Amino acid sequence: MLCRLGGRWLRPLPALQLRARDPALAPVPTSGAKRPTLSVWAVAPVCAVHANGWYEALAASSPVRVAEEVLLGVQATTGLPWWGSILLSTVALRGAVTLPLAAYQHYILAKVENLQPEIKAIARHLNQEVVVRANQLGWSERVARLTYLKNMKRIISELYVRDNCHPFKATVLVWIQLPMWIFMSFALRNLSTGAAHSEAGFSVQEQLATGGILWFPDLTAPDSTWILPISVGVINLLIVEISALQNIGISRLQTYATYFVRAMSVLMIPVAATVPSSIVLYWLCSSFMGLSQNLLLRSPGFRQLCRIPSTKSDSETPYKDIFAAFNTKFISRK
For the ranges 42-51, 55-64, 194-203, the one whose mean pLDDT is highest: 55-64
The average confidence (pLDDT) of the chain is 80
Q: Hey, how many other C-beta atoms are within 10 angstroms of the C-beta on 198? A: 14
Tell me the per-residue pLDDT of 129-177, one tens digit each, with 9 for 90 and over.
999 998 888 888 899 999 999 999 999 999 999 999 898 888 898 899 9
Contact 231, 301 (CB under 8 A): no
Cβ neighbours of residue 102 closer than 8 Å, sequence gap 6 or more: 173, 293, 294, 297
Confidence of residue 29 (pLDDT cuts 50, 70, 90): very low
Higher-scoring residue by pLDDT: 249, 13: 249
The per-residue pLDDT for 20 is: 40
The per-residue pLDDT for 16 is: 37
The per-residue pLDDT for 247 is: 61
Task: State how beta strands 8-10 and 3-5 pair.
Answer: antiparallel
For residues 191-202, average pLDDT: 63
pLDDT above 60 for 35: no
State the Cα–Cα distance between residues 155 and 171, nearest whole angstrom.
22
Tell me the per-residue pLDDT of 262-317, one tens digit each, with 9 for 90 and over.
888 899 899 999 999 999 999 999 999 999 999 999 889 899 999 999 888 888 88
Confidence of residue 84 (pLDDT cuts 50, 70, 90): very high
Question: For the chain, what percent of residues have pLDDT higher than 70?
Answer: 78
Q: Hey, how many other C-beta atoms are within 10 angstroms of the C-beta on 230? A: 14
Question: For the chain, what percent of residues have pLDDT higher than 90?
Answer: 36
Cβ neighbours of residue 53 closer than 8 Å, sequence gap 6 or more: none
State the Cα–Cα distance between residues 212 and 281, nearest whole angstrom.
10
State the Cα–Cα distance between residues 59 and 64, nearest whole angstrom.
6
Residue 14 main-chain phi, psi, to 5 deg: -60, 155
pLDDT above 70 for 2: no
Higher-scoring residue by pLDDT: 94, 30: 94
pLDDT above 90 for 202: no
pLDDT above 70 for 24: no
The per-residue pLDDT for 332 is: 63
Q: Where are the domains of the chain?
A: 63-331
The per-residue pLDDT for 158 is: 93
Confidence of residue 56 (pLDDT cuts 50, 70, 90): confident
Confidence of residue 206 (pLDDT cuts 50, 70, 90): confident
